[in-house]
Amino acid sequence: MKMGDRLLDFGGKICYNTDGMEKVYRDKDWLWEHYIVREESTYAIAKEAGCGGVTIFNWLHRYEIPVRNSSEGIFLARRNSVVIVPDLLGFFKGRDSWGWLRENAG
């Protein structure tokens, strides 16, 4: 499914950047869905939309979508991140990977 198809699901118009990428972030419902409902960061939204984080920030303000403060952003980033336990980190670094796998597998 292309971004345009997702945008049309929200009933919005498709706008394009000069490089042909759709400007999905200009749709208020799409932006609300990603920032408020899915709790994505401005960086993650910008990456998907093919623009900069400041652009997303500006459109959030334009639509008067409540912007998270830095504490809320840090909290969500930590809550939504993956934690790798030290033993698993050792596996990924190659330190006795196969021995660890034999001892801890199923």
**pLDDT tens profile 65-82:** 999 988 888 888 888 776
Q: Is the pLDDT of residue 45 over 50?
A: yes
> What are the pLDDT digits (tens) for 46-64?
988 888 889 999 999 999 9
If one compares 87 and 40, the residue with the highest pLDDT of the two is: 40
Runs of H (alpha helix) within 1-106: 3-9, 28-32, 42-49, 53-62, 70-80, 86-93, 97-104
Instruction: Report the pLDDT value the prediction gives residue 99, as an integer from 0 to 100.
Output: 64
What residue ranges do the domains of the chain occupy? 3-67
Q: Name the pTM for this structure.
A: 0.58
